[in-house]
Amino acid sequence: MSNIELAPVPPGDFGEIRRDVANRLFSDPSYTALDAMSEMSTAAEGYIDRLAEQYPGNKLWSGGSLGRREMLPNSDIDLFAIYDDPDYEESGIRVDGVDKFEIGHIHVGGLKDLLAYSLVDANRFIDGRRVGPVPAPDVEKMILEANTPDHQLANNISEYFFYRYFDFPHKRTPMGPNLKYSTGSSRDTIFFNMISRMSTGEFPAIRGDQPELGQVMDDIESRYGIRAPYGAVNLLFTVKNAAISVYDATGDLRNRYVSPTSLEAIYEFGKDKFRAWGITDARHFIETYSAARKEIEFTVDTMLTRALSEHAAAGDISKLLNASKDELPQTCLDVISGNSDHPHSLAAFGTWLTMMSNPSGESMDNIARALIEKPLDQTWGALMAVVCCPETPDATLSRLADWLYDNERGAYLTKLITRNPTASQQTREKALRNYKAKEIIT
């Protein structure tokens, strides 16, 4: 097999390790994606540590795959510079030799708000850990304090419904949902991590030096007696990494991560290893890949069902699940206005269930009105369902864009309004202006 084609490789050990890991990932049948993640994460953290010495005083935090120690040779790197001084100057740090590098800048006070009042944006830090020479005990402490049982359950519920029922369906290809975002892909495996955190209270900030995914799949088997899909995970991450290397050759940029054409090219790219796994040809490879995706999706669904049934809020969750379609909007309103130890979780669960039941525009408007009477730290996940719901009236979305401008910390919900198909052009333009004006990660 020929050498892997990578993005420009930086000088030094990181570039050499990256190329070596990429080649072993596609030539050694016994070398798994988890093995590659461990080596690549260690190498990347070392590389960033050396770079950070050029920018003394920067408090650096890695997110995404590196934050979970799940980095592969073609993974992106998401880095955040966290500043104590509100008048900071943005860091000029650059990471070379990866598929994509992004650095965000945020004041520590803004991060505290983000962790308290947001979910998806907050996960960019929850999914992370410190890198570089400057300690960040205050950031670790904020993450652990913000993730109460209510917050973490609301986080799980909102991410699960959002990616499964709103985001994924809009990113389909001729092969089905786009691999990078679809259930049964790297996005779906994040739910292994999230559900384990919900059960154990542990987070990447206090974990060890191995990929979080491997640890939590072990936890799945011991905690729930569910067979962890190690083989499926290994195949999907191997495919994802290969896709970035081969898409240029296929001319299949739009379907970069999955389509019949790109999967056939990926099979040719790594056929020696795939044949060693017993995958005989491209058609068999596509069938195996599709089955792996379904296995991961089924395992996540089973885990989430178990976690919800064992949660302290299980009784209230059952009431929402047992409500009829006609009863559900009012049941949801009762939950929002009631008193509970898990107001964030129950409001989110009830509103997402209502969103999926094809509600009337009036029902969604009533729910929105009830939610904005409550503190945002209890309603973010529920408001996410409202702004994603195609039945939410344009007038409601416009009113929410105004309300969120005054109340949201992070502006992610405002951004989602721009993607709602019901929103008028005027509402979308207003939401986009508000989003740009209020975004706190620069």
Distances, alpha carbon 12 to alpha carbons 36, 132, 135, 339, in Å: 18, 17, 25, 58
| β pairing state of 129-131 and 172-173 | unpaired
- Per-residue pLDDT tens digits for 259-268: 667 788 889 8
> Could you tell me what percent of the chain has a pLDDT over 90?
36
Q: Is 119 exposed, middle or buried (0-12, 13-18, 19+ CB in 10 A)?
A: buried
Residues 6 or more apart in contact with residue 133 via CB below 8 angstroms:
49, 52, 53
pLDDT at 317 over 90: yes
Judge contact between 262 and 252, C-beta under 8 A.
yes
Rounded to 5 degrees, φ, ψ at 326 are -70, -30
What is the reported pLDDT for 4? 38
- Distance CA(145)–CA(326), nearest Å, equals 38
What tokens were used for 185? 């892909």
Q: Give residue 262's pLDDT.
A: 75
In percent, how much of the chain has pLDDT > 70? 87
What's the whole-model pTM score?
0.87
Contact by Cβ (8 Å): 45, 66: yes
Residue type, 321: L
Which tens digit of pLDDT belongs to each residue from 413-433? 999 999 999 999 999 999 999
pLDDT tens digits for range 54-97: 777 778 999 888 998 999 888 888 899 898 877 776 777 777 76
- Check: CB of residue 49 under 8 Å from CB of residue 133: yes
Q: Are 25 and 19 in contact (CB under 8 A)?
A: no
| Of 45-49, 269-273, 274-278, highest mean pLDDT | 274-278
C-alpha span between 53 and 70 (Å, rounded): 24
pLDDT of residue 12: 63
Mean pLDDT (whole number) for 185-206: 75
**Residue partners of 131: CB distance under 8 A and separation at least 6:** 45, 48, 49, 52, 60, 61, 62, 66, 79
Q: What are the domain boundaries of the chain?
A: 13-147, 152-310, 314-438
Name the CATH architecture for the domain at 13-147: 2-Layer Sandwich (3.30)
Mean pLDDT across the chain: 84
* Banded pLDDT at 304 (limits 50, 70, 90): confident
Residues 47, 95: contact at Cβ < 8 Å?
yes
pLDDT tens for each residue of 109-140: 999 999 988 888 888 898 888 888 888 889 88
